[in-house]
């Protein structure tokens, strides 16, 4: 995943607590060992421990209090919507005969989003996780091996399984909660700007997949808006609908990424205020106006890196104690809830290859080793290699 609008992300972190998706406290049920509780200048809030959700010691639902929703459920829901966006674009490109684009979009759900969904689905329905993974994985080959009609049918089946997973994981009271849906919408439009900046340069599409990702995520955000708009006043609904029209027009016209960023910030403010997220506008304006934004963002990035290091220590400990599920959960958290927040700043700082290398080690290599039950020495060697990469990353922001 990409992140390249540091100011916007920092603002959302402060104003909306979206960064509560990042690690705050993880307590493994099967051992007394705990990861350090991390606070980023009070930005990172306490969340339901992921181990309690995965191991079933607490209900997946949490009450929505103030600006905060259960961050794991928000991230689950947002990634579900992103998968729907990718599949929609895969169908669209398949029908248009653009097989390479269709294949790229069909591959993104497994490559970029599935690992977010797996732990919570596994808690509620282990059989479903296998069916969903197989269905999503097979779509890539079916782009070339089936007709457009058959591909759409298979894609629709994957979407049905995705809806089943969403229904099982997300409690009904949160599905209908305005703030919960607002968090999802904000995550989607924020991600759309990141995709757009990679896809469009100087008024031209330079990476079609990323440009289409931006379109897809905005489309899904508008779908989420349809779910929450009836809980807003007519004035709020009208204002947000107008902002979305402006955003759609700007994207269609290949406007500069800075224009898209501005449109998204306006949507974030309107949605945040409409959903009752206190001080959204004031805090975002403060973030946009202060000269210390870059310094604060770098400081936050360093904190994410330290979170990853702490989590990797715990991965080794849990693995040594035979708690493989706990070790994998911690590894997922290290990547999804922490390194993803470092990826964008790395790209923006022209260190794309460093981002790609470290991402692969955290997202794929480490988890594969845990799943394959490699020797402790091999796992610890991989963790040491990741820490060496993190040393390089840290130097970028020091």
Encoding tokens for residue 210?
């990323």
Averaged pLDDT, 362-368 = 90
What pLDDT does residue 71 have? 81
Neighbour-count burial for 248-280, b at 16+ CB within 10 Å, e otherwise: eebbeebbebebbbbbbbbbbbbbbbbbebeeb
Q: What is the pLDDT of residue 299?
A: 64
pLDDT digits (tens, 9 = 90+) for 211-223: 999 999 999 999 9
Average model confidence (pLDDT) across the chain? 79
Residue range 57-63: average pLDDT? 34
CA-nearest of 89, 163, 151 to 125 is 163
Q: What is the pLDDT of residues 96-113, one digit of tens each?
A: 999 999 999 999 999 888
Q: Is the per-residue pLDDT at 188 higher than 60?
A: yes
Of 344 and 198, the structure prediction assigns the larger pLDDT to 198
CB-CB neighbours of 89 under 10 Å: 24
The answer, yes or no, to whether residue 160 has pLDDT greater than 50, is yes
Mean pLDDT of 239-252: 94
Q: Is 24 helix (H, G, I), strand (E, B) or coil?
A: coil
What is the 8-class DSSP label of residue 204?
E
Q: How far apart are CA 277 and CA 275, in angstroms?
A: 6
Mean pLDDT of 120-134: 90
Q: Which of 48-57, 147-156, 321-330, 364-373 has the highest mean pLDDT?
A: 147-156
Which band of pLDDT confidence, cut at 50, 70 and 90, is reported for residue 185? very high
Nearest partner of 299 among 195, 196, 397, 194, judged by Cα:
397
| Domains of the chain listed by start with CATH number | 1-67+293-398 (no CATH), 72-172 (1.20.120.660)
**Gap between the Cα atoms of 84 and 80, Å rounded:** 6
Instruction: Give yes or no for residue 126 having a pLDDT over 50.
Output: yes
Residue 338 pLDDT: 85
Is this prediction's pTM over 0.85? Answer: no
CB contact at 8 A, 366 and 386: yes
Per-residue pLDDT, 82: 96
pLDDT for 124: 87
End-to-end CA distance of the chain: 23
> Of 160-164, 180-184, 270-274, 367-371, where does mean pLDDT reach its minimum?
270-274
Render pLDDT for 248-306 as a digit per residue (tens, 0 to 9): 999 999 999 999 988 998 898 889 888 887 544 444 443 444 333 444 455 678 888 98
State mean pLDDT over 213-235. 94
Q: Is the pLDDT of residue 43 over 80?
A: no
Model pLDDT, residue 63: 32
Strand segments, DSSP code E, in 197-285 are 200-201, 204-205
pLDDT value of position 347: 81
How high is the pLDDT of residue 292? 39
User: Comparing 72-76, 151-155, 204-208, 252-256, which segment has the lowest mean pLDDT?
Assistant: 72-76
Average pLDDT over residues 39-63: 30
**CA quadruple 219, 220, 221, 226: dihedral sign:** positive
**pLDDT for 304:** 87
Q: How far is CA 138 from the centre of its chain?
A: 23
| pLDDT (0 to 100) of residue 59 | 37
Percent of the chain with pLDDT over 70: 77
52: confidence class by pLDDT, cuts 50, 70, 90: very low
The dihedral through the CA atoms of 374, 380, 382, 383 has a sign that is positive
| Structure confidence by residue, pLDDT tens digits, 295-353 | 445 567 888 898 899 999 999 999 999 988 888 888 888 888 788 888 888 887 888 89
Confidence band for 398, pLDDT divided at 50, 70 and 90: confident
> Average of pLDDT values for 135-154?
95
pLDDT band, very low/low/confident/very high, at 164 (cuts 50, 70, 90): very high
């Amino acid at each position: 995943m990409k992140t390249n609008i540091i100011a916007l992300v920092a603002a959302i972190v402060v104003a909306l607590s979206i960064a509560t998706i990042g690690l705050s406290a993880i307590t493994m049920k099967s051992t007394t060992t705990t990861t350090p509780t991390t606070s980023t200048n009070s930005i990172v809030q306490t969340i339901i421990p992921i181990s309690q959700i995965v191991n079933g010691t607490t209900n997946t639902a949490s009450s929505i209090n103030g600006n905060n929703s259960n961050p794991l459920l928000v991230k689950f829901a947002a990634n579900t919507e992103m998968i729907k966006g990718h599949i929609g674009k895969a169908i669209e490109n398949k029908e248009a005969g653009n097989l390479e684009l269709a294949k790229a979009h069909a591959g993104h759900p497994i490559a970029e989003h599935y690992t977010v969904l797996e732990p919570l689905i596994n808690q509620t329905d282990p059989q479903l996780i296998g069916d969903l993974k197989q269905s999503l994985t097979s779509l890539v080959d079916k782009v070339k091996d089936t007709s457009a009609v058959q591909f759409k049918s298979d894609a629709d089946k994957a979407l049905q399984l995705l809806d089943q997973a969403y229904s099982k994981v997300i409690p009904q009271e949160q599905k209908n909660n305005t703030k919960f849906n607002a968090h999802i919408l904000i995550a989607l439009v924020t991600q759309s700007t990141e995709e757009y900046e990679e896809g469009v340069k100087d008024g031209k599409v330079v990476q079609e997949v990323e440009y289409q990702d931006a379109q897809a995520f905005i489309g899904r955000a508008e779908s989420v808006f349809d779910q929450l708009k009836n809980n807003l006043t007519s004035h709020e609904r009208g204002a947000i609908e107008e902002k979305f029209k402006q955003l759609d027009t700007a994207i269609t016209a290949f406007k500069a990424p800075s224009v898209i960023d501005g449109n998204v910030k306006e949507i974030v403010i309107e949605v945040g205020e409409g959903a009752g997220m206190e001080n959204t506008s004031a805090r975002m304006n403060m973030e946009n106006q202060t000269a210390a934004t870059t310094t604060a963002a770098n400081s936050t990035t360093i904190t994410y890196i330290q979170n990853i290091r702490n989590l990797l220590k715990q991965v080794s400990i849990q693995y040594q104690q035979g708690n493989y599920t706990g070790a994998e959960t911690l590894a997922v958290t290290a990547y999804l809830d922490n390194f993803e927040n470092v990826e964008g700043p790395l790209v923006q700082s022209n260190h794309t290859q460093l981002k790609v290398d470290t991402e692969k080690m955290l997202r794929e290599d480490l988890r594969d080793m845990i799943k394959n039950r490699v020797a402790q020495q091999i796992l610890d060697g991989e963790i040491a290699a990741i820490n060496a990469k993190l040393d390089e990353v840290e130097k970028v922001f020091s």
